[in-house]
């Protein structure tokens, strides 16, 4: 961009921003607030960086209710589009319905009931944001939420280092608003991709969004999380892939075949040389003890292979003969989740739920590729799915209540399922 163009963009930044969002400012505020709430970036600053007591846990649950109300409010405003989205995502709805149905066989029905409500509201938030906004505006909403997290993390790390920097396990590593450095790295790697996509979809504010991208990339590096760095490279590489694929049909086909080859190679690496992948992610052969947890889950699932133990309750039942006790005995330590989307879904919903989740995941990927080739998908969809897919191997992010990453997955899965995006009518996608 020329110096004159940069000055014009900076001069017109606020007038154009106000004009672009004049009719949608309330939806913008509620959308950003909803995503920020699901990020849980407020949790440690408000309730402390240590373990919370049960009383504090009750306050935390109550904290979400105003944001649930925001999701319901937006749903009422765009109810027609919401019905269309519901009709077009049957697999995702079946997965949510299976979580609710697991109340019937759950080892803690009341716990499953409470968490299903929270899951439903989290997914409703994803649905309404996907329906309410066009790609260009949606990406600004998502990126704006991450900008708030980024600014807060810089403030805490620079001016309140006792809180913003890790003190024990990894002294000096930046953790920002979260309890662990890996959380900061994970969210900032996704935020950087969202901000970069916002820059490409909103050329009138590209300088601002590229600046925010740089700030989030720096935070990812300062977190010293190797997995987050790999996710960042994967996400940014995905944006470059989409940009080049849109240059023409021949190049798009060639790049698609290249992407398929890379995915097959990655699958072969996972199957036949997992130690090399662990080294890339900065993990040992046990993935920092995760394989011991998975071995314990495999053993307890022999008793309930088809339907599992109920949604979201295994890790809170600490009775002597509960599945958690057996997993702890095998793993040698007390785990708080499965550290894998796939094992987590299998544990709660059995083989039936695992197959359903695999179909949802595959459907999102196929629709994302299709939309990319047709030029109607955003720059965020495939990179987000790539980051999510990699992270899903070692983190429990699928069907997570009050979780930003699950909400973003729902947004992408719904958005690529909707008809041809309206961005082509109102916005020009330019790089």
In whole angstroms, give the CA distance from residue 102 to residue 66. 27
pLDDT at 276 (0 to 100): 59
Distant-in-sequence contacts of 8-17, Cβ < 8 A, 24+ apart: 9/204, 9/205, 9/206, 9/207, 9/208, 10/207, 12/204, 13/205, 13/208, 16/204, 16/205, 17/205
Domain that holds residue 118: 78-132+247-420
In whole angstroms, give the CA distance from residue 161 to residue 183. 17
Q: In degrees, to the nearest 5, what angle opens at C-alpha 67 toward C-alphas 64 and 71?
A: 130
Q: Is residue 186 part of a domain?
A: no
Q: Is residue 137 part of a domain?
A: no
Ranges of residues in the chain whose predicted pLDDT is under 70: 1-12, 14, 51-57, 248-289, 373-377, 420-431
pLDDT at 422 (0 to 100): 47
Q: Is residue 83 part of a domain?
A: yes
pLDDT at 372 (0 to 100): 75
> If 0-12 CB within 10 Å is exposed, 13-18 middle and 19+ buried, where does residue 156 land?
buried
pLDDT at 428 (0 to 100): 33
3-state DSSP: the chain helix, strand, coil percent, rounded to 5? 75, 0, 25
In whole angstroms, give the CA distance from residue 111 to residue 310. 9
The count of domains in the chain is 1
Q: Is residue 87 part of a domain?
A: yes
Q: Is residue 339 part of a domain?
A: yes
Q: Is residue 119 part of a domain?
A: yes
Among 102, 392, 98, residue whose Cα is nearest residue 266: 392
Q: Is residue 237 part of a domain?
A: no
Q: Is residue 142 part of a domain?
A: no
pLDDT at 248 (0 to 100): 62
């Amino acid at each position: 961009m020329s110096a004159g163009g940069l000055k014009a963009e900076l001069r017109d930044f606020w007038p154009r921003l106000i004009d672009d969002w004049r009719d949608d400012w309330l939806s913008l505020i509620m959308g950003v607030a909803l995503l920020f709430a699901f990020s849980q970036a407020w949790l440690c600053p408000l309730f402390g960086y240590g373990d919370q007591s049960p009383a504090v846990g009750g306050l935390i649950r109550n904290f979400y209710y105003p944001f649930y109300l925001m999701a319901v409010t937006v749903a009422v405003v765009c109810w027609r589009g919401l019905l269309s989205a519901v009709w077009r995502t049957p697999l995702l709805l079946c997965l949510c319905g299976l979580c609710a149905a697991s109340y019937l066989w759950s080892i803690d029905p009341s716990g499953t009931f409470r968490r299903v409500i929270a899951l439903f509201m989290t997914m409703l938030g994803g649905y309404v944001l996907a329906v309410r906004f066009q790609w260009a505006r949606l990406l600004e909403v998502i990126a704006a939420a991450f900008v708030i997290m980024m600014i807060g993390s810089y403030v805490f790390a620079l001016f309140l280092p006792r809180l913003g920097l890790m003190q024990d396990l990894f002294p000096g590593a930046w953790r920002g608003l979260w309890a662990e450095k890996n959380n900061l790295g994970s969210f900032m790697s996704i935020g950087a991709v969202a901000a970069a996509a916002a820059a490409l979809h909103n050329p009138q504010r590209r300088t601002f969004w590229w600046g925010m991208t740089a700030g989030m990339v720096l935070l990812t590096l300062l977190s010293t999380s190797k997995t987050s760095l790999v996710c960042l490279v994967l996400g940014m590489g995905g944006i470059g892939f989409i940009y080049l694929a849109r240059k023409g049909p021949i190049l798009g086909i060639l790049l698609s075949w290249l992407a398929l080859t890379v995915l097959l190679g990655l699958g072969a690496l996972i199957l036949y040389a997992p130690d090399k992948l662990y080294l890339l992610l900065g993990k040992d052969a046990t993935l920092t003890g995760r394989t011991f947890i998975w071995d314990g889950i495999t053993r307890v699932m022999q008793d309930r292979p088809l339907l599992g133990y109920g949604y979201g309750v295994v890790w809170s039942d600490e009775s002597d003969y509960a599945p958690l006790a057996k997993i702890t005995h095998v793993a040698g330590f007390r785990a708080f989740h499965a550290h894998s989307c796939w094992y987590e879904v299998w544990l709660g919903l059995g083989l039936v739920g695992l197959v359903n989740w695999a179909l949802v995941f595959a459907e999102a990927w196929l629709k994302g590729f299709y939309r990319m080739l047709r030029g109607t998908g955003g720059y965020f969809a495939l990179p987000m799915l790539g980051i999510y897919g990699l992270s899903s191997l070692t983190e429990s992010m699928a069907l997570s209540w009050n979780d930003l990453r699950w909400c973003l997955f729902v947004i992408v899965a719904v958005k690529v399922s909707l008809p041809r995006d309206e961005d082509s009518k109102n916005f020009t996608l330019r790089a």
